[in-house]
């Protein structure tokens, strides 16, 4: 019996066939359009899309395929929104800042100021990269060679750098040892058989690299002494010595800022990817598909419901311009809605007022030598500290090149607020003064920097929407419904906040909703 015969001969439902693994599910990347709908239902219908970030552009791209006539209004002179790559010549003037910055990074050097990594399970993002021909490369997120630095602590391991592999493997070793010892205690026999316990001990021996007596006495997983790696002849290599458990516990590494959960968090598990040449390859590719449809330097100032649709006013060259459409897809970050004259519903307005956006910032530091590679053997990945710089990201491109740009801080909440409030020059000074504690090479190798605080970058209002259970319950529902003929899209309208996949999936949802609606009209 063939698979097809089997399927034809049973009365099994589609769902059970799926569950039995008999059918490939429709890929999550295809639009879910009504089966009885017609593609041409959208033909010629005018849609005004607010914002040329990923959500807005993907919406216009997909609606365009269905024949809709989309116009995208974008306040900035570029597309991409919070997907923004900083390279030589990039300019920005933050709110409240007078001079502005122009990056003087050398040709070929850059950092992703916003979105910077793509988890392997964000299939919709990867689908667009595939469809738009954006080549990808690996993004190294977890690097055991990165450093931890606890500043201001009192223990022996504070105020010095140590490798993540040293901390990580010691803690695994000691906790495995303690668990193995606990398994010798009476009382476990109720849940576990003798064989179960043997297997668990085997697991712990491997997990913690315990010796035959089930003790942790160090491991080569934490590395070798600098000049004593295995080599030819009489060079078996000499492992580094483990730190003491109490030293580790008392030196401050249990603070949340150091949690070494990067490799456990679903979104940060290997494999992560990034576009070759900068994240803006994605918005640039989308922009190409929308030639003539995006109006740049068009700041939306008014959004109104009309009898048959919507009316939008935007400011262009200091003058108001009015446009109308049947539908509007508003992808503006919520804080931007506050500046709009609108007749949006009260619940939407309250969402704009009360859904918090995270404060977050980054600085790119150009160095004349990739000392982190040459001296420290760090190729991509992240170092962590409780200082205001919080994280140092090493570039996952251009390995072994001459110069390099690393991300000298990536911080959040109060750290980002404090740093964002500094002048551009002070931020640079701070990043160097704190970073030198981890990398003494900083002062001799530094060349120039470019920093940004997302909560101060015009038209962004912050890094991303941050819901808790209460705000999710109170405000979110109004954003996933149409308000008249106005639809909302963007990461803030999803459970994938802070990710490009959120922007894309919101675009799909909106396109599906609009197309289902016009399908209903044309049926009548
Ligand atoms: N997506 C963002 C980033 O990669 C923010 C984020 C960080 C989201 C960590 C979840 C976990 O930095």
CA distance linking residue 345 with residue 322, whole number of Å: 21
Ligand 1: distance of its center to the CA of 474 in Å?
Answer: 24
Residue pair 135/185 in contact by the 8 Å Cβ criterion? no
For 237, the token pair is 């290599």
Helix (H/G/I), strand (E/B), else coil: 491: helix
CA-nearest residue for atom 11, ligand 1, is 267
**322 forms bridges with which residues in the sheet?**
313
CA-nearest residue for atom 7, ligand 1, is 498
pLDDT, position 41: 84
For 162, the token pair is 């140590």
Q: What contacts 52, CB < 8 A, 6 or more positions away?
A: 72, 73, 74, 76, 79, 80, 81, 283, 287, 290, 294, 296
CA distance linking residue 213 with residue 262, whole number of Å: 31
Ligand 1: distance of its center to the CA of 116 in Å?
Answer: 9
pLDDT, position 522: 78
> Of the residues 390, 499, 500, 502, which should be mutated to test ligand 1's pocket, given the most ligand atoms within 8 Å of the CB?
499
Looking at the CA of residue 116, tell me the nearest atom of ligand 1: 4
Residue pair 218/173 in contact by the 8 Å Cβ criterion? yes
CA distance linking residue 394 with residue 111, whole number of Å: 10
CA-nearest residue for atom 8, ligand 1, is 498
Looking at the CA of residue 117, tell me the nearest atom of ligand 1: 4
What is the pTM assigned to this prediction?
A: 0.94
* Ligand 1 proximal residues by C-beta, below 6 Å: 117, 267, 498-499
Alpha-carbon distance values, 175 to 76, 202, 244 (Å): 52, 14, 12
Ligand 1: distance of its center to the CA of 35 in Å?
Answer: 36
Closest C-alpha to 47, from 26, 21, 65: 65
Domains belonging to the chain, first-starting first, are: 46-80+290-356+465-523 (3.50.50.60), 85-145+271-279+358-456 (3.90.660.10), 163-254 (1.20.1440.240)
CA distance linking residue 412 with residue 139, whole number of Å: 21
Helix (H) and strand (E) counts in the chain: 17, 23
Ligand 1: distance of its center to the CA of 498 in Å?
Answer: 6
**365 forms bridges with which residues in the sheet?**
406, 449
pLDDT, position 153: 86
CA distance linking residue 279 with residue 155, whole number of Å: 41
Ligand 1: distance of its center to the CA of 236 in Å?
Answer: 41
**316 forms bridges with which residues in the sheet?**
319
CA-nearest residue for atom 6, ligand 1, is 498
> Of the residues 54, 261, 495, 498, which should be mutated to test ligand 1's pocket, given the most ligand atoms within 8 Å of the CB?
498
Per-residue pLDDT of the chain (524 residues; tens, 9 = 90+): 555 555 555 555 656 656 666 666 667 788 888 765 667 789 999 999 999 999 999 999 999 999 999 999 999 999 999 999 999 999 999 999 989 999 999 999 999 999 999 999 999 999 999 999 999 999 999 999 999 999 998 889 999 999 999 999 999 999 999 999 998 887 766 778 889 999 999 999 999 999 999 999 999 999 999 899 999 999 999 999 999 999 999 988 888 888 756 667 899 999 999 999 999 999 999 999 999 999 999 999 999 999 999 999 999 999 999 999 999 999 999 999 999 999 999 999 999 999 999 999 999 999 999 999 999 999 999 999 999 999 999 999 999 999 999 999 999 999 999 999 999 999 999 999 999 999 999 999 999 999 999 999 999 999 999 999 999 999 999 999 999 999 999 999 999 999 999 999 999 999 999 999 998 887 76
pLDDT, position 29: 81
CA-nearest residue for atom 5, ligand 1, is 498
pLDDT, position 346: 97
pLDDT, position 496: 98
CA distance linking residue 427 with residue 362, whole number of Å: 10
Residue 128 is inside which H or E element, if any?
A: helix 123-132
Ligand 1: distance of its center to the CA of 503 in Å?
Answer: 14
Percent helix, strand and coil across the chain, each rounded to 5? 35, 20, 45
For 158, the token pair is 């504070």
Say how far residue 74 (Cα) sits from the centre of its chain: 22
């Amino acid at each position: 019996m063939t698979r097809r015969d089997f399927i034809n001969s049973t009365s099994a439902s589609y769902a059970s066939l799926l569950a039995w693994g008999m059918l490939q599910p429709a890929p999550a990347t295809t639009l879910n359009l009504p089966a009885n709908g017609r593609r041409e239902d959208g033909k010629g219908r005018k849609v005004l899309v607010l914002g040329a970030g990923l959500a807005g552009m993907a919406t216009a791209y997909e609606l365009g395929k269905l024949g809709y006539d989309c116009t995208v209004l974008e306040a900035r002179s570029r597309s991409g929104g919070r997907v923004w790559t900083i390279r030589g010549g990039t300019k920005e003037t933050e709110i409240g800042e007078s001079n502005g910055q122009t990056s003087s990074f050398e040709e070929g050097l850059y950092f992703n100021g916003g979105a910077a990594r793509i988890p392997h399970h964000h299939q919709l993002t990867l689908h667009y990269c595939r469809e738009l021909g954006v080549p990808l490369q690996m993004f190294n997120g977890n690097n055991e060679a990165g450093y931890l630095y606890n500043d201001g602590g009192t223990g022996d391991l504070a105020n010095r750098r140590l490798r993540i592999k040293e901390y990580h493997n010691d803690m695994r070793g000691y906790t495995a040892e303690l668990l193995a010892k606990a398994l010798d205690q009476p009382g476990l026999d109720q849940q576990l058989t003798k064989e179960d316990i043997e297997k668990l001990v085997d697991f712990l021996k491997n997990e913690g690299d315990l010796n035959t007596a089930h003790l942790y006495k160090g491991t080569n997983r934490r590395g070798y002494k600098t000049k004593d790696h295995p080599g030819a002849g009489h060079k078996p290599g000499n492992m580094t010595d483990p730190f003491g458990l109490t030293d580790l516990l008392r030196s401050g590494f249990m603070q949340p800022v150091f949690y070494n959960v990067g490799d456990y968090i679903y979104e940060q598990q290997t494999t992560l990817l990034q576009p070759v040449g900068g994240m803006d390859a994605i918005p640039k590719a989308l922009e190409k598909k929308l030639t003539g449809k995006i109006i740049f330097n068009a700041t939306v100032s008014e959004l109104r419901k009309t009898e048959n649709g919507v009316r939008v006013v935007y400011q262009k060259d200091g003058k108001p311009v009015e446009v109308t459409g049947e539908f509007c897809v508003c992808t503006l970050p919520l804080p931007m809605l506050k500046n709009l004259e609108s007749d949006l519903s009260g619940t939407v307005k309250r969402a704009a007022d009360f859904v918090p956006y995270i404060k977050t910032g980054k600085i790119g530091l150009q160095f004349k030598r990739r000392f982190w590679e040459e001296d420290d053997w760090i190729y991509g990945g992240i170092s962590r500290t409780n200082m205001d710089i919080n994280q140092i990201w090493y570039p996952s491109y251009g390995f072994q090149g001459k110069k390099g740009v690393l991300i000298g801080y990536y911080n959040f909440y109060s750290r980002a607020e404090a740093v964002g409030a500094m002048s551009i020059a002070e931020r640079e000074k701070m990043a160097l003064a704190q970073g030198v504690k981890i990398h003494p090479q900083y002062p001799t190798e530094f060349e120039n920097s470019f920093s940004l605080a997302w909560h101060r970058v015009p038209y962004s209002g912050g890094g991303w929407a941050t819901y808790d259970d209460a705000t999710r319950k109170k405000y979110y529902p109004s954003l996933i419904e149409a308000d008249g003929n106005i639809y909302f899209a963007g990461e803030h309208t999803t459970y994938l906040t802070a990710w490009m996949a959120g922007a894309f999936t919101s675009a799909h949802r909106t396109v599906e909703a609009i197309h289902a609606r016009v399908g209903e009209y044309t049926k009548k």
